[in-house]
Structure formats: structure tokens, C-alpha cells
Amino acid sequence: MSDTLTLPAETRRAGKGASRALRREGRVPAVVYGGKDEVLSIHIEEKELRRQLGTGHFFNSVVDVEVDGKKVRTLPKDVAFHPVSDRPLHVDFLRLAKDAKVHVNVPVHFANEDASPGLKRGGVLNVVRHELDLICDADAIPEEISIDVTGLEVGDSIHISHVTLPAGSVSAITDRDFTIATIVAPSALKSEAGDTEEKPAEAEAEG
């Protein structure tokens, strides 16, 4: 499960001029919205925001925003970056209610690749989806989804129906059994096997 992050913040005045002044001081304007409370305009330290973005799981972690001695439980929803310098310019946080469900993208990790006969024969793991679109309990957001490829051969595919998701998590896509990855043969292995009609994984992914 992803750790809860803490981000100190201060309230701010709205307006473009005030936001520009904050950025010159190394601060990033942000808002907290959602629930029955009013939108909360805040600013946070750019250096700390960059550090948390660098963890790789900022967007699928609950963030406690500390304002005036109080913690507001949130989920990061969007960060706007400068198109040239890539500097963070603004952050949106969604306020989380108690027992909230959240919509997140969780990275996929493939385990036991050395136990896949297809990969050991020279097959290639063709990843169609590097993240899974999930609806989870806010208090139990997975840091990653591990998929075991033990026993898989060239030509085998991994669909969402093959994956056991953690308790409290379900796929946000329910209208099809989509492909997450396939094991495909490299050209040399195809020629050896006389198989030249392997279907592209991309075609199967949304098929």
C-alpha cells in the first residue's frame, strides 16, 4: 500500500499577480477542492513538492495537506508544469471524505520472468499497459500491482481477468477483458518455428 505523504502548506490570496509572486519565492500555488467544504487556496514549497513527485507514487498516494495546524486528507489530481523549464506551476488536490473511494492509475510490475519458458526461449514481454486504471479504498491504494509470469509461453497473453487485485481494489474498466501484456516471439524465433502470423499485441489490446 502506498504511504501517506505529508505536505505543509499556507493559505494564499487568489489572483495571477499573487501567484507569480509566490513562484518567485519558491512556492507553488495550489487548491484543495471537493466535498462539502469550500475550495481552499494554498501554496506549498516547490522543493518539497519536487521531492514528493520524485518518489514515483505521488499521484496514487494520500497526501495530508497541513494548513494552520490542521490536516486535510487529499489525493493529488493534477500538476501543471511550465512547458519549457518543466517547473511545477500549480497543483490540484481532491479532498477525501472518510471511507472514500478513489480513481487512480497504479503501476504494473512483472514478477518471475526467469520462470517463464517463453521468455527463457528468447520471447519478449510486450507490455501493453504499464499502469492499471483502478478504483480503490483511499486507505488501501496499492503502490503497484505484481503480475506473475511463471509458466507463460510465447503467444500467451495476460488479461485483467487473470490478475488478482488487492482487497478493496477493482478495475475501473469493466466493459472488456483488456490485455495487459503478451509474450511475443522475436523475428529469429518466429522463423525457426515457421510462425509468421503472430497478432500484434496492440490489436488484441482493445479487441
Provide mean pLDDT across the span 81-105: 91
Q: Exposed, middle or buried by CB within 10 Å (0-12, 13-18, 19+), for 94?
A: buried
Provide mean pLDDT across the span 140-165: 94
Could you read off the pLDDT of 28-59 as tens digits, one per residue?
A: 999 999 878 889 999 999 999 999 999 888 98
Is 102-205 assigned to CATH 3.40.50.1240? no
Residue 191 has pLDDT above 70, yes or no: no
Which residues of the chain form CATH 2.40.240.10? 5-97
Class of domain 5-97: mainly beta
Question: What is the percent of the chain with per-residue pLDDT over 70, rounded to a whole number?
Answer: 88
- Cell numbers 475550495 label which residue? 39
**Contact of 43 with 8, CB cutoff 8 Å:** no
User: How many residues appear in the chain?
Assistant: 207
Which residues of the chain form CATH 2.170.120.20? 102-205
Provide mean pLDDT across the span 85-108: 91
Which pLDDT does position 123 carry in this prediction?
93
Instruction: Look at phi and psi of residue 93 and say left if phi exceeds 0, alpha if psi is from -120 to 50, else beta.
Output: beta
**Contact of 164 with 180, CB cutoff 8 Å:** no
Q: What is the mean pLDDT of the chain?
A: 87
Would the pTM of this model clear 0.85, i.e. be above it? Answer: no
Across 2-11, 38-47, 89-98, 107-116, least confident range:
2-11
Residue 11 has pLDDT above 50, yes or no: yes
Instruction: Look at phi and psi of residue 98 and say left if phi exceeds 0, alpha if psi is from -120 to 50, else beta.
Output: beta
CA distance linking residue 121 with residue 189, whole number of Å: 8
CA distance linking residue 100 with residue 175, whole number of Å: 24
CA distance linking residue 48 with residue 8, whole number of Å: 9
CA distance linking residue 44 with residue 69, whole number of Å: 14
